[in-house]
Amino acid sequence: MTLLAFDWAIIIEKLILIAIIVLTTLLITLYTTFGERKVAAILQDRPGPNRAGPFGLFQPLADGLKLIMKEEIIPTSASKWLFILGPGLAMTASLMTSAVIPWGTELHLFGRTIELQIADINIGLLYVFAVVSMGVYGIMIGGWASNNKFSLMSALRAASQAISYEIAMGLALIALLMTTGSLSLKTIVADQVAGNWWNVVYQPLGFLIFFICAMAECNRTPFDLPEAENELNFGYHQEYSSMKLGFYLFAEYVNMIMSSAIMASMYFGGYDLPFFDESTVAPNIAAIIGVGTLLIKIVLFVFLFMWIRWTIPRFRYDQLMNLGWKKMIPLALLNMLITGALILSKL
Amino acid sequence: MQALTNKSIAVNRSPMTIWERLYLINIIKGMVITFSHMFKKQPTVRYPEQKREFSPVFRGLHVLNRDEEGRENCTACGLCAVACPAEAITMEAAERQEGEEHLYREEKYAAKYEINMLRCIFCGLCEEACPKDAIYLSETFATANYTRKGFIYDKNDLLIPNTLTNATALAKAKGVEA
């Protein structure tokens, strides 16, 4: 029975943590869609949704209910299994990123020390990178399986966009790794909590590149070419209806939250509340403050995403490629060179 | 070519400078503009709760007027129907009987009076044509309806509530109209 000599409590603990994180993420996502509509409205001098419940707070529930109640249509010419797989894959890939994000320090409950991170793997950043690039499969498969010209076109755009911007993203991350010396997100955040400055101070250009690439990876305006309404009829999810469409739309918002969490953790100190010494309060309270701080940072990033979306128009396809290959990649390489030179000069 | 006015500005076709090609500065400028709109006053009228004030000359739904004793003013002369460019008004006249003096002001009255609100163009010519001050355009507008028939308003819909016998309904109607 040596195989079963295992700390079973940790499995339960992790399962509960996963459930909490996934459910919270989905709940926040619901209200991010509401936030998106409100932000758009306020930036355009409109009141936005305000009918369902106080201040329109039940609007996302109504939207969700509407999506579920709609007829589920699978086109006859579509490849059925891939068609169903697409949205599921998009959603799974975007939720999987949450596994390595350190949401806080640690809680002491029932005599146990609970890490507020699902898995502290030593290749955390590589994992994030791998999962993020898997996100494009959902769009690819969905767009291809729809058997529709516009959807296929959009899927191709999504794939080429993701590939182009992942390179710059990776190069920006390499520069960050050179300064932190660790791939584990927990270590990266802990270093920022212990040290004086957040990584964005050491890597401003790297952050900018990463931010732009994250926006491209999330298919957010100005990089929303895959779902360009006016050229491609909503692109890859044109043939989708009901909750399968809902999953695609949701996955975009989950992606946005996850990349905000990653950016907050890597460049903005994660759960670190600035000018506040965590050791002065009880560890449990410090952990809760940390989680709250990270959530606030995520909300700020999400607002930034929305703010940009409702300010600037979409890029043209050639502009997108120009920006990706001729500006982002050389800039990221330059950033790497400067970082390397500075590290060498300090040695 | 010589400019016709001093308002025209020549299009600047010089190549973009490096700062312009970076886009970032212009994007930030744009974001400042959108952010400033967060604090602007919204022109939205939240309709069912708030209603926009109509101008005093607004021409809305018709009402058939009564005199101060609560008698119908209309004598079914048909001038409004003649004046109506959309041919929306139809009526049938009837003679006042003995004992109906408290209902109708003159010897002749409209037994049937219908306005088709789908045809009506709310020009107000009926109001101008009426010699008896019987028809007026109020400040309410035609409400939605499920059938076309529902838009043919008869006397029940048009007649203003009686001042003497149904003062509360009149007050209510006025409150809605205000």
pLDDT digits (tens, 9 = 90+) for A65-85: 888 888 888 888 888 888 888
pTM above 0.90, yes or no: no
Nearest chain A residue to B31, by CA: A311
Q: Which of A52-61, A129-138, A218-227 has the lowest mean pLDDT?
A: A218-227
Q: Report if residue A2 sits inside a domain.
A: no
DSSP 8-state symbol, A76: T
Q: Report if residue A76 sits inside a domain.
A: yes
C-beta separation of A264 from A297 below 8 A: yes
C-beta separation of A238 from A150 below 8 A: yes
Mean pLDDT, residues A165-189: 86
Q: Which residues contact B68 (CB under 8 A, 6 or more apart)?
A: B163
pLDDT at A2: 58
Top pLDDT among B1 and A234 is at A234
Which residues of chain B make contact with A310, given a CB cutoff of 8 A?
A: 34
pLDDT at B178: 40
C-beta separation of A228 from A151 below 8 A: no
Is it the case that residue A310 has pLDDT exceeding 50?
Answer: yes
Is it the case that residue A108 has pLDDT exceeding 70?
Answer: yes
Write out the two tokens for B12. 């600047």
Nearest chain A residue to B18, by CA: A327
Number of domains in chain A: 1
> What is the percentage of chain A residues whose pLDDT exceeds 70?
97
Nearest chain A residue to B33, by CA: A311
- Quick check: B44 and A47 CB within 8 A? yes
Is it the case that residue A273 has pLDDT exceeding 80?
Answer: no
- A205 to chain B, any CB pair closer than 8 A? The answer is no
DSSP line for chain B: ---SSS-------SPPPHHHHT-HHHHHHHHHHHHHGGGSPP----TTTS-PPPPTT---SEEE-B-TTS-B------HHHHH-TT--EEEEEEEPPTT-TTTBSSSEEEEEEEEETTT-----HHHHH-TTS-EEE-S--PPP-SSSGGGEE-HHHHBPPPTTT-HHHHHHHHHHH-
| Minimum-distance CB partner of A45 among B30, B31, B42 | B42
Q: Which residues contact A261 (CB under 8 A, 6 or more apart)?
A: A97, A98, A101, A294, A298
Is it the case that residue A301 has pLDDT exceeding 80?
Answer: yes
Is it the case that residue A47 has pLDDT exceeding 60?
Answer: yes
Which residues of chain A make contact with B20, given a CB cutoff of 8 A?
A: none
Q: Report if residue A1 sits inside a domain.
A: no
Q: Report if residue A233 sits inside a domain.
A: yes
C-beta separation of B80 from B120 below 8 A: no
Is it the case that residue A180 has pLDDT exceeding 50?
Answer: yes
Which residues of chain A make contact with B42, given a CB cutoff of 8 A?
A: 45-47
Query: Using CA atoms, how far apart are residues A164 and B108, in angstroms rounded to an integer?
Result: 86
Structural domain for A146, as ranges: 7-346
* Domains of chain B and any CATH numbers: 62-177 (3.30.70.3270)
Q: Across the 178 residues of chain B, what is the mean pLDDT of every consecutive 10-residue run?
A: 77 82 83 87 83 82 85 89 92 88 87 90 90 85 82 85 68 54
Q: Report if residue A316 sits inside a domain.
A: yes
Question: Among the residues of chain A, which ranges form H helices?
Answer: 8-43, 59-69, 80-96, 124-145, 149-180, 185-194, 199-202, 204-217, 229-232, 242-267, 283-309, 317-321, 329-346
C-beta separation of A136 from A162 below 8 A: yes
Indicate if ipTM > 0.85.
no
Q: Which of A130, A70, A102 is nearest to A189 (CA)?
A: A102
- B40 to chain A, any CB pair closer than 8 A? The answer is yes
Q: Which residues contact B157 (CB under 8 A, 6 or more apart)?
A: none
Query: Using CA atoms, how far apart are residues A35 and A28, in angstroms rounded to an integer?
Result: 10
Write out the two tokens for B169. 């309904």
Q: Report if residue A129 sits inside a domain.
A: yes
Write down the mean pLDDT value for chain A: 84
pLDDT at B55: 83
Write out the two tokens for B161. 């509530």
Point out which residues pair with B112 in neighbouring strands.
Answer: B92
Q: Report if residue A61 sits inside a domain.
A: yes
Closest CA–CA distance from residue A44 to any residue of chain B (Å):
7
- How many CB atoms are located within 10 Å of the residue B34 CB? 18
Q: Report if residue A168 sits inside a domain.
A: yes
pLDDT at A321: 87
Rounded CA Rg of chain A: 21
pLDDT at B167: 66
Point out which residues pair with A201 in neighbouring strands.
Answer: none
Point out which residues pair with B104 in neighbouring strands.
Answer: B72
Q: Report the first-to-last Cα separation within chain B, whole angstroms.
A: 59
Which residues of chain A make contact with B40, given a CB cutoff of 8 A?
A: 45
Top pLDDT among B121 and A133 is at B121
Distances (CA, A) of A266 to A185, A260, A300, B86: 7, 10, 15, 71
- Quick check: B37 and A44 CB within 8 A? yes
- A7 to chain B, any CB pair closer than 8 A? The answer is no
C-beta separation of A298 from A132 below 8 A: no
